[in-house]
Amino acid sequence: MVSCAECKVYACRIGKLDAAPENCPMRDGDITNTRDAFADPAIKKMARESALVEAEGYGRWSRLEEIIEFSHRMGFKKLGFAYCVGFREEAKVLHKVLTANGFEVASVCCKNGSIPKEELDITDAQKVRPGTYEAICNPIGQARVLNKEKTDFNIMLGLCVGHDSLFTKNVDAPTTTLVAKDRAMAHNPVGALYCHEGYFKKRLYELHQK
Ligand code: SF4
């Protein structure tokens, strides 16, 4: 099975393809030769501008600044963002920042539609706060709203695991993540990886042990 994560040589990174391991995907015919895809000018532009933004702001620009810069270079006029209701204060700021940078901005909250959790066969005891009205997060609604708005580019702001999957599966315009929801890590999911040999050892390696 392909397992780049266990590679010891990273031959792809240094351009020494002869040194690639046996299970390297570069050895599978031309599956990683995607030059055909980059022949499409729109795809090439996106790949190129991403690389240029990476290099120009390397280690200096925040992800938000990169999104703004990338969007300008791509010629995006209308941006959309899908946000979690828990990020409603941050959503106000994001709207203000994007607008100040000359974009038209459409935004849509995860609770749009106000569909009660009971409609997904979630019992009262299974809610975050039993005994209260809880609407489901509605990422498909978020996608449909932004599709209707015909946004050029979308941003996810704090969508939950799985909800983000449904959003990206249903949305038309290309999408990036500004914030990945992680309630236990101050929305810094990589912290769990950094602590895998320490505080998180037991939790991570024994979570679903086979
Ligand atoms: S593509 Fe090949 S060389 Fe690059 S990390 Fe994966 S296995 Fe290693």
195 CB near ligand 1 (under 6 Å): no
Alpha-carbon distance of 16 to 12, in angstroms, equals: 7
How many domains does one find in the chain? 2
What pLDDT does residue 132 have? 97
* 113: CATH: 3.40.50
116 CB near ligand 1 (under 6 Å): no
- 182 and 100 in one domain? yes
**Is residue 155 in some structural domain?**
yes
30: confidence class by pLDDT, cuts 50, 70, 90: confident
- The residue contributing the CA closest to ligand 1 atom 7 is 24
Q: Which amino acid is at 28?
A: D
Is the confidence at residue 32, as pLDDT, over 80?
yes
207: confidence class by pLDDT, cuts 50, 70, 90: confident
From residue 8, give the alpha-carbon distance in Å to each of 11, 18, 24: 9, 14, 11
**Is residue 49 in some structural domain?**
no
pLDDT digits (tens, 9 = 90+) for 142-162: 999 999 999 999 999 999 999
Rounded to the nearest angstrom, the distance between the alpha carbon of 193 and the centre of ligand 1 is: 21
**Is residue 94 in some structural domain?**
yes
- 186 and 87 in one domain? yes
**Is residue 99 in some structural domain?**
yes
Q: Are 157 and 83 in contact (CB under 8 A)?
A: yes
From residue 43, give the alpha-carbon distance in Å to each of 35, 36, 54: 10, 10, 17
| Domain carrying residue 10 | 1-33
**Is residue 47 in some structural domain?**
no
pLDDT digits (tens, 9 = 90+) for 121-137: 999 999 999 999 999 99
7 CB near ligand 1 (under 6 Å): yes
